[in-house]
Amino acid sequence: MERTHIEADKTIAKRANLQSYENTKELFTWDHALQELSQAPSGKWNAAYECIDRHVAEGYGDKKALLFTDGDHDETFTFAEVKHITDGYAHVLKESGVKVGDRVFIFLPKSPACYFTILAAIKAGAIAGPLFEAFMEDAVRERMQDCEAQYLITDENLVKRVPFDDVPSLLKTWDIEEFDREAQQYEDADSPIVWLDEQDGMLIHYTSGSTGKPKGVLHAQKVLPHHLITGKYVLDVHDDDVYWCTSHPGWVTGSVYGVFAPWLNRATVVIHGGRFDAKEWYSLIERFGVTIWYSAPTAFRMLMSEGDLYKDFNLTSLRHLLSVGEPLNPEVIYWAKDVFNARIHDTWWMTETGGHLIVNFPSALIKPGSMGRAFPGVTVGILDENNEPLPANEVGKLAVKAPWPGLMKEIWKNKEKFDSYFTDNGWYLSGDTARIDEDGYVFFEGRDDDLIKTAGEQVGPFEVESKLIEHPAVAEAGVIGKPDELRGHIIKAFITLRHGYSDYDGLTEEIRQFVKTKLAAHAAPREIEIVEELPKTKISGKILRRLLKQQEIEKMQKEVASEWQKKNA
Ligand code: 6R9
């Protein structure tokens, strides 16, 4: 029987912070923020204070704030300890001249020190610029140059990738060990917190920028209610939760939902240092008793392709999982329900939106294939080419009525780019295409430029990819439109095989027939190529369809050129 939805588990729904989506009109209210943010009434905030110091002031100093493991050794920190460390770090920054609005870059592996330095920069009133640990020299240069970074905290390995001569704005660089030593002298100093206005900057993230140069998205302090309230209702953090977000804070998911949203809600946060390793990940969940787990489709698909490995572990602590960054294939949700007995809640948002906008709640039904519904109080629409709203179930541009609390404050020194996100009639344009069904569930179709027109029909790559990975041999799939004289485009799929499968005669044809009979004849890929791996963004693991397409076009051009040479030789 075709499965279409998964109801909420009754026990879990009863405990969820949001009991009923249907009766909830709005959650991002100032009144709500006042109740939840201790310093909001004064009109001056500091995100780091609300994440850490506030819990100590309210008597939770001994509660575990952080559990770290790198596979070899573990470390634990209480909220009081995190306050102490980040206070010392903030003093070092202030003594070195860091002022409100200065850019302090952090280039460290996923580790407690990475989290602590981000918070310390914010305590000192600066804008934190976390850099992803896999960045090479060009990526570091582009970002630090663009916003004229003045301070940098890094370590002895990563420092080799910092092009000092090209960043003349840089005033001081610390090695993290030296930084830590400098902080010792502030053992008994007063609180270093710098109180800030809601429009003061807090974080700068550069978007992946698959076209053009990366853009510096600036989040201001005013995002706090967004982080806090989505952390409470979407992550659904309670006091006994152990929460693990697998992303590095260099990606917005790793900062907003790795650091801020969980800690604003007083969660015990897990950090895993090092790369993906299925065994290590499962054993971490078992050992730390992870209850809420936030990751990305690419990671879930990798676990899925490991087959029965999960059976060696006790994963019953998991209450729900969350996913972001890429379309979440229904197959993956059903797999998770079967093997973890927990649902994966998809969430849609962007670096620019500052926090969740389309979500699933533990208390509500999910429709696999859909990203969920608008967060209460957010208006999501599907627009036509004139930016006018379309009726239910029609495919168009995914847009959001502006503003909302998390919305970026600016694109660093690029007003023109910032303005280009907004229409004259008040919508924010995401650059994604989607449709919304009669119940308000939003279905992702693709990035604007990923949509495929084949023989007059419009096909979204996501639907084809999801069908492909339902085939037992297929682990991952990237689908593109390959230029074709006759049809405009034909559908071409690049696939990787699951563990234990290898290519055999007729396999690709079998897969093609599978999509043809299960989805639609016109959506079945005419070409299927088996590859070792798919190109993905380094930072968030998104499949780079544009790159696949570009490579395909280059290959075609080479073939044409060599044909021509043969003929004219
Ligand atoms: C948080 C983040 C934003 C783009 C976005 C969209 C894609 C994000 C998604 C999703 C399908 C989801 N995206 N969430 N696509 N389903 N649940 O990913 O930020 O790196 O800025 O990327 O990612 O295309 O426009 P960012």
Instruction: Tell me which H or E stretch contains 138.
Output: helix 137-146
Domains located in the chain, CATH noted: 10-436 (3.40.50.12780), 449-567 (3.30.300.30)
pTM of the model: 0.91
DSSP letter for each residue of 87-134: HHHHHHHHHTT--TT-EEEEE--SSHHHHHHHHHHHHTTPEEEEE-TT
Report the alpha-carbon distance of residue 221 to residue 228 in Å, rounded.
Answer: 12
Looking up tokens 């249907």 gives 22
- Is residue 120 scored above 90 in pLDDT? yes
Q: How much is the pLDDT for 212?
A: 65
Kindly report the protein residue whose alpha carbon is nearest to atom 11 of ligand 1: 327
- Stretch 369-378: mean pLDDT, rounded? 97
Give residues with Cβ within 8 angstroms of 181, minimum separation 6.
none
Which atom of ligand 1 is closest in space to residue 217's alpha carbon? Answer: 21
Task: From 348, 429, 545, give the residue whose CB has the most ligand 1 atoms within 8 Å, as the site to mutate.
Answer: 348
CA 344 to ligand 1 centroid distance, Å = 16
Tens of pLDDT, residues 459-504: 889 989 999 999 999 999 999 999 888 788 899 999 999 998 988 9
CA 374 to ligand 1 centroid distance, Å = 15
Task: From 247, 542, 544, give the residue whose CB has the most ligand 1 atoms within 8 Å, as the site to mutate.
Answer: 542
- Stretch 50-62: mean pLDDT, rounded? 97
Task: From 333, 350, 366, 451, give the residue whose CB has the most ligand 1 atoms within 8 Å, as the site to mutate.
Answer: 350
pLDDT class of 520 with cuts at 50, 70, 90 = confident
- Is residue 69 scored above 70 in pLDDT? yes
Q: pLDDT: is 125 or 307 the higher one?
A: 125
| Percent of the chain whose predicted confidence (pLDDT) is above 90 | 81
Q: Which residues of 129-160 are buried (b: 16+ CB within 10 A; e: fewer)?
A: bbbbbebeeebbbbbbebbebbbbbbbeebee
How large is the ipTM? 1.00
CA 531 to ligand 1 centroid distance, Å = 24
Q: How much is the pLDDT for 460?
A: 85
CA 172 to ligand 1 centroid distance, Å = 34
Q: Which two tokens stand for residue 73?
A: 């050794």
> Which amino acid is located at 269 in the chain?
V
| Percent of the chain whose predicted confidence (pLDDT) is above 70 | 99
Q: How much is the pLDDT for 211?
A: 54
- Is residue 1 scored above 60 in pLDDT? no
Report the alpha-carbon distance of residue 221 to residue 197 in Å, rounded.
Answer: 7
Q: Are 272 and 248 in contact (CB under 8 A)?
A: no
Which atom of ligand 1 is closest in space to residue 253's alpha carbon? Answer: 1
Q: What residues are in contact with ligand 1 under a 6 Å CB criterion?
A: 207-208, 252-253, 324-327, 346-351, 371, 430-432, 444, 447, 540
Task: From 207, 251, 326, give the residue whose CB has the most ligand 1 atoms within 8 Å, as the site to mutate.
Answer: 326
- As a whole number, the mean pLDDT across the chain is 94
Lowest average pLDDT, out of 65-69, 442-446, 451-455, 520-524, goes to 451-455
Lowest average pLDDT, out of 47-51, 421-425, 559-563, goes to 559-563
pLDDT class of 42 with cuts at 50, 70, 90 = confident
Task: From 444, 450, 538, 545, give the residue whose CB has the most ligand 1 atoms within 8 Å, as the site to mutate.
Answer: 444
Assign 258 to helix, strand or coil: helix
Q: Are 355 and 376 in contact (CB under 8 A)?
A: no
Tens of pLDDT, residues 6-35: 999 999 999 999 999 999 999 998 888 878
Angle at 290 between CA 286 and CA 293, to 5 degrees: 120
DSSP letter for each residue of 389-447: BPPTT--EEEEEES--TTS-SEETT-HHHHHTTB-TTSEEEEEEEEEE-TTS-EEEEEE
- Is residue 209 scored above 80 in pLDDT? no
CA distance from start to end of the chain: 60
Kindly report the protein residue whose alpha carbon is nearest to atom 19 of ligand 1: 350
- Is residue 343 scored above 80 in pLDDT? yes
pLDDT class of 456 with cuts at 50, 70, 90 = confident
Kindly report the protein residue whose alpha carbon is nearest to atom 1 of ligand 1: 350
Kindly report the protein residue whose alpha carbon is nearest to atom 13 of ligand 1: 325
Which atom of ligand 1 is closest in space to residue 251's alpha carbon? Answer: 20
CA 345 to ligand 1 centroid distance, Å = 14
Which atom of ligand 1 is closest in space to residue 349's alpha carbon? Answer: 1
Tens of pLDDT, residues 127-167: 999 999 989 998 899 999 999 999 999 999 999 999 999 99
Q: How much is the pLDDT for 347?
A: 98
CA 540 to ligand 1 centroid distance, Å = 9
pLDDT class of 378 with cuts at 50, 70, 90 = very high
Q: How much is the pLDDT for 208?
A: 66
Which atom of ligand 1 is closest in space to residue 539's alpha carbon? Answer: 20
